[in-house]
Amino acid sequence: MFAQFDFDVIARSWVYLFQVGMAFTLQLTALAMLGGVALGTLLALGRLSGWRPLALLCAGYVNLVRAVPLVLVIFWFYFLVPYLAAWLVGAAEPVKVGTFWSALITFTLFQAAYYCEIMRGGIQAIPRGQMLAAQALGMGYWQAMGHIVLPQAFRNMLPVLLTQTIVLFQDVSLVYVLSIPDFVGAASKVAQRDGRLVEMYVFVAVVYFALCCLLSWLARQLQRRVAIIR
């Protein structure tokens, strides 16, 4: 099998794969991570809220999203977002959102459910006495959360957040079903053009394996550095 392995197709294509495919993958991963963490934090605060309707609404959203396959959500938003945008702006025709924005909205909303549970666990891990002490000093709920609880929760959960981001990095490859030129999509184009599917997909697998191993190692190192000794 490997006697006929064509390394030359990799040598000819790796610049295109990284400049176009990997650049898109990293861009979508970073933006979806930032949006997912922000929305996930709000969802976590909503789930911990004393106002029961808000807590039930946030819990329902999280449980619904986590029970649906990601690839199905990608298709939903790809076809649904243009109609939702048209409804919001009052347009007669579906708004052309574009595959990038459709994918970004999808991954942000989907990953927010997972980041929510990570942040909720981090917030609940902070001793309740710290919140009570902050309130005793005259801080309001949001002041105590912003200055006391959330900074510690982020520090405790940073390695787990990075691990979830590695999962997000892998999941971004699913945009291939929308013919978006991410790393897998770009490799697929080269493979079909040159008739070298084995070489391209082996190269993609090796790159993903190397990057995910490196990121996992960084997450473990970060965990040792930021761990709070109690």
Q: What residue has token string 């990038």?
A: 100
pLDDT of residue 138: 84
In one-letter notation, the amino acid at residue 227 is A
Rg (CA), the chain: 21
Residue 36 vs residues 15, 31, 40, 44, 165: alpha-carbon distances, Å? 30, 8, 6, 12, 10
Mean pLDDT of the region 117-139: 87
pTM: 0.88
Of the listed ranges 16-25, 53-62, 78-87, 182-191, the one predicted with least confidence: 78-87
pLDDT of residue 159: 85
pLDDT at 226 over 80: no
pLDDT of residue 170: 94
Residue 70's closest CA among 95, 97, 103, 33?
A: 103
Q: How confident is the model at residue 228 (pLDDT cuts 50, 70, 90)?
A: low
pLDDT at 230 over 60: no
Mean pLDDT of the region 152-179: 89
pLDDT at 27 over 90: yes
Mean pLDDT of the region 46-56: 91
pLDDT of residue 3: 60
Query: Six-digit token pair at 195?
Result: 């008739």
Residue 181's closest CA among 19, 8, 14?
A: 19
CA atoms within 13 A on the CB side of 89: 12
pLDDT of residue 139: 85
pLDDT of residue 40: 95
pLDDT of residue 212: 94
Mean pLDDT of the region 9-23: 90
pLDDT at 182 over 70: yes
C-alpha span between 177 and 185 (Å, rounded) = 9
pLDDT of residue 146: 84
pLDDT of residue 229: 47
The domains of the chain, with CATH numbers, are 23-180 (1.10.3720.10)
Q: How confident is the model at residue 220 (pLDDT cuts 50, 70, 90)?
A: confident
pLDDT of residue 2: 58
Mean pLDDT of the chain: 88
